[in-house]
Amino acid sequence: MFVPDFFGQALNGLSYGVLLFLLSVGLTLIFGMLDVVNLAHGSFYMLGAYAGLATIGATGNFWLALVVAPLAVGVIGAVMERLVLRPLYVRSPLDQVLLTFGFIYLFEDLVKWIWGGRIRSIPPPDLFSRSVKIFEATVPSYRLFVIVFGLVVALLLWLLIERTRLGSVIRAGVFDAEMAAGLGINIPLVFTSVFAFGAALGGLSGVIAGPIQSASPPMGAGILIPALIVVVVGGLGSLKGSLVGSLIIGQAETFGKAWLPGASMLMIYVVMALVVLARPQGLFGRPLR
């Protein structure tokens, strides 16, 4: 009894962790490149879920939604970066954070206006609508798909950033944007692209989350806090940190729910506080100051 239970919980935690990774990796990429903590990142997640719902409503195809929603959210991100974030790069980074904070309200109410405030759910694709038994634990096969999908995305991202020319441009920009611009790299274009790409990843995670966690307008602000905790734990701007942080927070949340039902929501904060005490810059962050 104990072993299957434990195993099932661990898999649940892993799928939630992978989901957090898809979300927080966009947050950390955007910060690494633009020095902006995008508090509207949870909103991209919500927008992705609703764009996915709309696509599925129109075509009935989950896989199409998995492509269309990130593209749509990426376009929204690109427009947002060009129109309102860019004029603020000359100011204090705090102004940019305040600005993205305003967008949380804006996006949440827009979605409520268009789609209404009720809770909706995205059905899983037919291929993964059943459960499977592993070591006597019953696991929805969709969760297994999420785990594999997320790990493949992590691998592709790593290859993209470490092994391609585009990746080295991004790394150069993260390291020293001014120097990279001096070497002939079109930094404004890279900024817009990275922001749009991060937004698209947020949108992607929204579609992926749909069949596990239902969609409602406040979901964006709700997921923002775990995502922020992930980057605090892992270290802001570090891809590896975002992966490790996500997996830790995913397990902490899931096992908290199973073992401490009265204080489950507290678990992730305890983890965060412990990490901040030991390493204020996060597990894989560059030293502060």
Chain residues in the site for another protein (CB under 8 A): 31, 37, 39, 84, 87-88, 91, 93-95, 97-99, 101-110, 112-113, 221, 224-225, 228-229, 231-232, 236, 262-266, 269, 272-273, 276-277, 280-281, 288
Question: Which residue type, as a one-letter code, is found at position 261?
Answer: P
State the minimum distance, in angstroms, from the CB of residue 105 to another protein: 3
Q: Which structure tokens are listed for 204?
A: 């992607």
State the minimum distance, in angstroms, from the CB of residue 251 to another protein: 17
Question: Which residue type, as a one-letter code, is found at position 280?
Answer: P
Q: Quick one: 153 or 227, whose CB is closer to another protein?
A: 227
CA distance 93 to 215: 31
CA distance 96 to 23: 20
Q: Quick one: 74 or 220, whose CB is closer to another protein?
A: 220
Q: How many CB atoms lie within 10 A of CB 183?
A: 10
State the minimum distance, in angstroms, from the CB of residue 110 to another protein: 7
State the minimum distance, in angstroms, from the CB of residue 272 to another protein: 6
Q: Quick one: 32 or 211, whose CB is closer to another protein?
A: 32
CA distance 220 to 116: 15
Q: Half-sphere exposure of residue 184, counting CA atoms within 13 Å on the CB side?
A: 0
Q: Quick one: 114 or 156, whose CB is closer to another protein?
A: 114
Q: Quick one: 66 or 174, whose CB is closer to another protein?
A: 174
State the minimum distance, in angstroms, from the CB of residue 256 to another protein: 10
Kind and range of the H or E element at 133?
Answer: strand 131-134
CA distance 47 to 180: 33
